[in-house]
């Protein structure tokens, strides 16, 4: 008999009767498989952890640890959980089959078994395991590539921040007149460059904070915030851009409504949502910022506009990292990247920042009916 190839599947045969082990091993080796034998549940577990067989043929009735318990332990161990287990036993009652499958078994054969049936089931389970192993390996490599991409992104973005800050500082000096008088056109162009540079700096900060939020490495600095004051200040910070684009930003919030949260984070969430509304709302869009007591507890903030709206199919997708709306073109992505809108970063940051507080964010919108982004913050953030 020709010896099995070195790369042939390895099968572990477990039975307390040595003659049964020998018969099955001879049969399987004749079919080209490599085999191992074990006479007890404990021995089977040790061999499975050490040799990682591709499949286990397991008797049920054995002294000490029976086959059912051995199977449970195999499936409970991450190192051996993916190994298919076929029970080969003299038991034939339907309840025995049910107990074997409940223990984690993948198949059940009653002695005396049909050789063609045994071979067919072994081959089927080995094909399934090979496919699962390939999928697991692909997923592992994908995670490694994603980790590498994220590391490179953080390095590049971090290195971008210093020269960008220098550019903005130089623009501020020129606009303040420290380098000489400017014409109206020069002041307008330099002011626009400073504003766009600020947008880019916010996107850089979004990227850096996204990485920290994804790794739960951001430490919140919560403080008591007056909701009405916060909304008025945020709206005021956007008033110049809104006026230039013919847009309106209004605030509605009752006096005395407060929440404990990281002010910087919440300001950036509101700023990203306002930037989205101005960018996608079109000329003359109206944006409304509001805050009301949330149902149950906490505060519900809303940034709503009367723009073209968002297709319902995009509601969940737009919060994903690097996601984009189905109506966005490549040009939209490039033009909107500085605002963290088309880049798919701004809304992802909003989602992670709100969730870091223990809150939630969602959108209500239909095409032609505007969009309303809501987020609820609990009275106190998690861990405060």
CATH number at residue 59: 3.40.50.2300
Same domain, 330 and 183: no
Same domain, 252 and 346: yes
Beta-strand relationship, 286-293 and 299-305: antiparallel
Give 55's DSSP letter.
Answer: E
In which band, very low, low, confident or very high, does the pLDDT at 115 lie, cut at 50, 70 and 90? confident
Q: What average pLDDT does range 266-273 have in this prediction? A: 93
The count of other CB atoms within 10 Å of the CB of residue 80 is 18
Same domain, 203 and 233: no
Q: What's the pLDDT score for residue 336?
A: 36
Which residue range(s) make up the domain with 56? 10-113
Same domain, 226 and 365: yes
Q: What average pLDDT does range 303-326 have in this prediction? A: 79
Question: Cα separation of 200 and 207, whole Å?
Answer: 11
Residue 355 located in a structural domain: yes
| DSSP, residue by residue, 161-175 | HHHHHHHHHHHHHHH
Q: Any idea of the CA torsion for 137, 142, 145, 150, to the nearest 10 degrees?
A: -140
Domain ends where: 113, 132, 162? 113
Residue 128 located in a structural domain: no
Same domain, 259 and 161: no
Residue 42 located in a structural domain: yes
Cα atoms in the Cβ-side hemisphere of radius 13 Å centred on 152: 6
- Is the predicted pLDDT of residue 337 greater than 60, yes or no? no
Domain ends where: 214, 236, 266? 214
Q: What's the pLDDT score for residue 248?
A: 92
Same domain, 236 and 353: yes
Same domain, 242 and 369: yes
Question: Cα separation of 361 and 347, whole Å?
Answer: 10
Question: Cα separation of 357 and 379, whole Å?
Answer: 10
Residue 134 located in a structural domain: no
Question: Cα separation of 368 and 282, whole Å?
Answer: 12
Nearest by Cα to 371 from 280, 285, 307, 328: 307
Beta-strand relationship, 222-226 and 258-262: antiparallel
- CA distances (Å), origin 35, targets 14, 44, 252: 11, 13, 74
Percent share of the chain, pLDDT over 90: 43
Same domain, 275 and 345: yes
Residue 5 located in a structural domain: no
Q: Among 127-131, 147-151, 314-318, which stretch is predicted with the lowest mean pLDDT?
A: 147-151
Same domain, 230 and 280: yes
Same domain, 199 and 237: no
Domain ends where: 158, 189, 214? 214
Beta-strand relationship, 371-377 and 299-305: antiparallel
Residues 23-56 have pLDDT tens digits of 999 999 998 999 999 999 999 999 999 999 999 9
Number of domains into which the chain is organized: 3
């Amino acid at each position: 008999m020709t010896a099995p190839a070195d790369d042939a599947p390895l099968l572990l045969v477990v039975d307390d009767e040595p003659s049964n082990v020998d018969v099955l091993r001879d049969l399987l080796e004749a079919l080209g498989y490599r085999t191992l034998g074990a006479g007890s549940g404990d021995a089977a577990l040790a061999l499975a952890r050490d040799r990682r067989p591709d499949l286990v043929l397991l008797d049920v009735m054995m002294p000490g640890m029976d086959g059912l318990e051995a199977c449970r332990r195999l499936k409970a161990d991450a190192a051996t959980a993916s190994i298919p287990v076929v029970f080969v036993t003299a038991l034939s009652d339907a309840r025995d089959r049910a107990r074997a499958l409940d223990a984690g078994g993948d198949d059940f054969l009653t002695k005396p078994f049909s050789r063609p049936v045994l071979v067919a089931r072994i081959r089927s389970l080995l094909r399934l395991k090979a496919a699962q192993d390939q999928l697991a390996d692909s997923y592992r490599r994908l995670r490694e590539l994603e980790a590498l991409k994220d590391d490179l992104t953080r390095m590049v973005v971090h290195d971008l921040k210093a020269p960008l800050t220098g550019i903005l500082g130089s623009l501020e000096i020129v606009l303040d007149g420290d380098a000489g008088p400017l014409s109206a056109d020069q002041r307008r162009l330099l002011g626009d460059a400073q504003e766009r540079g600020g947008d880019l700096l916010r996107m850089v900060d979004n990227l850096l904070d996204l990485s920290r939020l994804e790794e739960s490495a951001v430490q919140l600095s919560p403080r008591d915030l007056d909701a009405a004051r916060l909304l008025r200040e945020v709206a005021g910070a956007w008033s110049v851009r809104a006026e230039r684009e013919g847009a309106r930003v209004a605030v509605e919030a009752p006096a005395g409504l407060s929440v404990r949260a990281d002010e910087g984070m919440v300001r950036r969430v509101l700023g990203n949502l306002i930037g989205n509304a101005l960018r996608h709302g079109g000329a003359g869009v109206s944006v409304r910022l509001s805050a009301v007591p949330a149902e149950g507890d906490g505060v519900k903030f809303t940034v709503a506009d009367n723009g073209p709206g968002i297709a319902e199919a995009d509601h969940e997708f737009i919060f994903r990292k690097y996601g984009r709306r189905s109506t966005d073109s490549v040009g939209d992505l490039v033009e909107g990247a500085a605002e963290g809108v088309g880049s798919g970063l701004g809304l992802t940051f909003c989602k992670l920042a709100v969730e870091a507080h223990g809150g939630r964010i969602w959108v209500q919108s239909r095409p032609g009916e505007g969009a309303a982004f809501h987020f609820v913050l609990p009275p106190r953030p998690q861990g405060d």
